[in-house]
Structure 1
Amino acid sequence: MLQFGFLQAGIVVLNGLTHTYKVENGKVYKGKIAIENTGNSSQNVKLFLQDFTYKADGSIYYTAIHTNNRSNGEWIRLNTNLITLKAKEKTEVFYEITVPDQSPNPGSYWSVIIVEPVEDIKPSDDKAGVNITSVIRYAIQVITDFEPEKAKPDLKFESVKIEKEDGKQTAKIAIANNGNLYCKPSVTIEIYNRQTGERLGSYTSTAMGLLPQTSKSFHIDISKVPANQYKAVLIATDEEDNAFALNVELEVKND
């Protein structure tokens, strides 16, 4: 999950931003983060853990470990919190997940490992003031699923909006996961003629991960649909073929 800023330091994470594990109580699991400095000068990088959640309106919250009641941050230990990478150098940082002996409740637990370049503070002869340097931080989700067969996602449709985005009519469908298990759903919208019931088309979003007690907005390009009022069925389906459906009235406008 790439955060803010523009590329300056040239630090990249090579092995993905979501690491998932099926875990059992009392056991230890090992993982790693592969990092490369693509820049032409050496770079210090710090790593630390935070809790993490998000909402469909685009807000993202990074907070202290154990702010979230489904945090696994206290289970995770990094083998280092600071590394120095020479120009073009690659390295791996290792971590261990120690699941408590006392069984947690079934479902998904998570936190994020933040990978953040550290800018050297250089004295400046320029005018007095503060120079602010933007950097790119990476947030790597570490998701542990405990007894997932006893847990389940529970997807709820929060809202449906039709808005122009990049010049295209776009259905923006907010979905919350009110369950206790991480899933990766996609959303399909099936559009029907209001009078005849004839199906006019089916359009599907890309799949996105959805943690428990979070929500996201799934965007679907429906610019091929003529302006009119329609009946529609929204279907959210995850990778385990759990399906959640909702009937809605839909109005597509010209503007």
Structure 2
Amino acid sequence: MIMRIFLLMFMMLQFSFLHAGIVVLNGLTHSYKVENGKVYKGKIEIENTGSKPQNVKLFLQDFTYQADGSIYYTTLRTNKRTNGDWIKLNTNLVLLKGKEKTEVFYEITVPGEQVNPGSYWSVIIVEPVDDIKPSDDKAGVNITSIVRYAIQIITDYETEKAKPDLKFESVKVEKEDGKQTVKIAIANNGNLYCKPTASIEIYNRKTGERIGSYSSITMGLLPQTSKSFHIDISKVPADQYKAVVIATDEEENAFALNVELEVKND
């Protein structure tokens, strides 16, 4: 009986994920360089990859995240650098037929008065919603899977007067997916969105010989947020090393930190 229940739940979960056929086609980050009093237009391209009609609602929220993996979606004006009040959607609800595509348009109206230099942002949530149906008396387990998309709308104002300020929160070596991985938590304490890459140069502790240089993928980092940048060092033999950790953004601003590094066998 227990096995049947687990099998039923697995099949229903599988069906739910297959049923969730809404995808965003034109990216999850939309960035603009803006000026006072100007209006900027954008769009979100949505497709229903399923065969059944699907309602989709769209709404604005504030958004932030930290290196420990926590992500916060909150009401507008929670973030002091929100631009949610600048953004107006042309609709909050669309109905897509099976295999149909559509475009939802938005306008960004930058305030006419002076605002502080730097980046402002919010997210447009794209969420499939089911029609409300009367409940029935059928026995069973009902599981609903909702696949949401959060599209970042980032507006950069007077970037020449703003800058990122990257700080290393922690550097540690952990095993991940069977590989020794350096996890570097980096915070952006500045006021400008940037796209840093983390790298590490490893040296023999006794001789100073350079063992190698390794890099993470590039990730976007909003002001007053942090992320964990992961670097695979599984080819480095177990030992204790000296290392230099470097964070470099797309403008080639570099931030460095000297660390002691221990790579273990297990």
Q: Provide the TM-score with structure 2 as the length reference.
A: 0.92
- The Cα shift of 1:7 comes to 5.0
- Residue number in structure 2 paired with 1:119: 130
Bigger-Rg structure (1/2) = 2
1:239 lines up with 2:243 in the alignment: no
**Residue of 176, 190, 196 corresponding to 2:207:** 196
Aligned residues with identical type, % of pairs: 82
- Residue number in structure 1 paired with 2:40: 29
Residues 121-160 of structure 1: CA distance to partner in whole angstroms, max 9, x if unpaired?
Answer: 3333313x88341110000000000001100000000001
Residues 1-59 of structure 1: CA distance to partner in whole angstroms, max 9, x if unpaired?
Answer: xxxx9453200000000000000010000000000000010000000000000000000
1:97 lines up with 2:108 in the alignment: yes
Cα pair 2:20 2:145 within 8 Å, conserved: no
Q: Counterparts of 2:250 and 2:18 in 1: how far apart (Å)?
A: 33
- Residue number in structure 1 paired with 2:147: 136
Give the paired residue count: 250
Q: Counterparts of 1:163 and 1:6 in 2: how far apart (Å)?
A: 32
Gaps of 5+ in 1: none
Q: Provide the TM-score with structure 1 as the length reference.
A: 0.96
Q: Where do 4+ consecutive residues of structure 1 move more than 4 Å?
A: none
Partner SS, residue 66 of structure 1 = coil
- Residue number in structure 2 paired with 1:62: 73
Cα pair 1:7 1:136 within 8 Å, conserved: no
Cα pair 1:115 1:138 within 8 Å, conserved: yes
Q: Counterparts of 1:167 and 1:81 in 2: how far apart (Å)?
A: 45
Query: By percentage of residues, which structure has more helix?
Result: 2
- Residue number in structure 2 paired with 1:152: 163
RMSD: 1.2
Residues 55-75 of structure 1: CA distance to partner in whole angstroms, max 9, x if unpaired?
Answer: 000000000001000000000
Q: Counterparts of 1:152 and 1:7 in 2: how far apart (Å)?
A: 43
Partner SS, residue 149 of structure 1 = helix
Q: Counterparts of 1:130 and 1:70 in 2: how far apart (Å)?
A: 43
Q: Counterparts of 2:207 and 2:145 in 1: how far apart (Å)?
A: 56
Q: Counterparts of 1:23 and 1:88 in 2: how far apart (Å)?
A: 35
The one-letter amino acid paired with 2:209 is E
- Residue number in structure 1 paired with 2:223: 212
Residues 180-200 of structure 1: CA distance to partner in whole angstroms, max 9, x if unpaired?
Answer: 000000101000011111110
